[in-house]
A and B are shown apart, each in its own frame.
Chain A
């Protein structure tokens, strides 16, 4: 009987195949030539537009997002980015004020789709001991945390491969790829195919990277930490994909919690860096994520004691505990300095990267602004009590340390690019040439050029001339015949956020074998002048009323723009320069939470912050 049924199914199956073959051979009717007019967007711009996006969000296919309650699919994530709303696992809707220009769902490749399968399937996979409790995660957040840690430990112990069922991973990956391709809408919205490579050091240091693909094609399966924890193996995989026509780049993130490994001066195996390592790294990693919810990675007060603004959204501990991290090798600015030092001594620079921001939100959404922050870890930090923005009654539970970690998370991370138009090719290529900037959330814009003969800031053709006579952010300027150089630094505020307070240029250089850094304020709001000795703007007196978070009006600038020359310039030195644009102070998300709850903000976290944007550096190389 069952054989008969099988034969019927086989017959139907083959019948269908023959049918489809026959249809495929039918000549389609010739359709009229496509008129090449795009009246929706006549915005192709040789001088390039600023586009904003987030290339680091997690959907239900990420094991941790799923365990935290995340059930939004990649499709829902892209719909959100285009302006739609997504339901938070705690039941409220999340929506952006303005849609994103570009977006990438970047789920963890290890356990991709596995935990979701374990929770829903009646397969062998769900019988695995590690899957226990997944089918009934429930309301006990401590239980969810313990399940999350169980999976993390399982991979850290080297057992992850046991449950990496290729078929399940492939199903999830196919869905992610198809979703990005479906939502990509050239000229209107760019959806990148992406995933997160979650490589980890021997002591669980985070060596995480997001891999972003340029086009609509992707490898059969993503390369994950189950394949290797050594980033060089990831780069070799990317190199071989590239040889086969699949172009991608990797963006390291959370260097701040890598405990010194992300920008270590040795490779994963502990060998000193060499030029082959540098060229492979630079080829595959043109950018670094400078800020995201789990802290900002620009620099740390311990590394930059003379930078008054260095202590911005610092996450001082390793993830999931209270072990302090080692600052050296964990922060962007120090890595840029180490890079030019290596360049001047050995002729190669493994850390010649540009910067970008993104969120790492595990709710499939980007982060909201400070005033509508809804957490990033599903049910675990969905309200002020859970994310520790409200005073904690320490007798209630024993998880305060964990809550405190959320308190230190920032509502941060936005990617900015300068591109001709909103297409995959144009935006990806801007990432390749590092004409990118990162912000701590607001859509503020930063432009930066260097050259030997740049025009005045009032020149009507400022941008055109800066491109033709100089280099844009992310570029290298070769100094010939000790010619003087100048910079154009320019920032515009987010129309929906606070005004700008000042514009800074951060310089790093090598002198007599030693790397140095210096901060120059180069433009001040409110007609204030930079002090020529301290290189600082006087205070503009911008204040925040902590009773309701309102900010003083009439203080600050919509734009700051200047042509700057370095008073300490030495044409024989290797150097880099980047711009930091600083907003007036505003309430931090934790203060907004407290005000809404009618309680005083916690006094052990900053009540206000100064949102900011960072340009990619420009490198100055002596001839």
Chain B
């Protein structure tokens, strides 16, 4: 038997094996798939229907046409929530990615104990959207918190950062920036992919550190940057826990931490207006979809694929 025949035989057997594998995979996936249908797809579709109703959580829903969607246009508190959310997304995501990239570049220089630093910087993003961290945040930025003690040491008088509407959102932005670990890990992986020879060639041609960064690192990293950008924007739009915990569920003071999702939650669970809350959820989906589409469109102009 020639080697070629043997290979053919293998391939034929392989097809059968693959078929069997597929079936096994299906069964292993079935619980997840059932969960997806029951817990995600079903309710998502139901919420679309509820968006056209008045539904107070207890009595049966009642059709009201497009009233809920019309209300989105005139709801001034919602417009404030949109302003807060856009500020949060547009300020915290670029800052977060800049931090992530900066630290990734530092760590990529072959430090000793890299694994330790990597974990240390990654840790906050595991904890970032947890209740515990949000509670910690109220302590750190409270009137008698860590920040004010440090400021006090330098003779600067602090204030309640979270309980003042001028600064409350900033503390949440800082919190989001602090959780730069997960994009950082992705950046690090991307940096590892850039062939060393490019840098060597550039160095021979006399390129300085700065121009190597601009002309080699950044273009070759741009697909990764794009990926992180899309992901983090979506993530930031969906932020909820931080604002909920820090404001005691109110979005206060003065609606200054009223994230879109928190407003949605309040409509559904404090005002018992699940119809409007459902409409808001679908509107948020549209906003996120629009942002993502714009991102993909803009990517043509700055993302470079080195194929």
Is A bound to B?
no
Residues of B within 8 A of A (CB): none
Residues of A within 8 A of B (CB): none
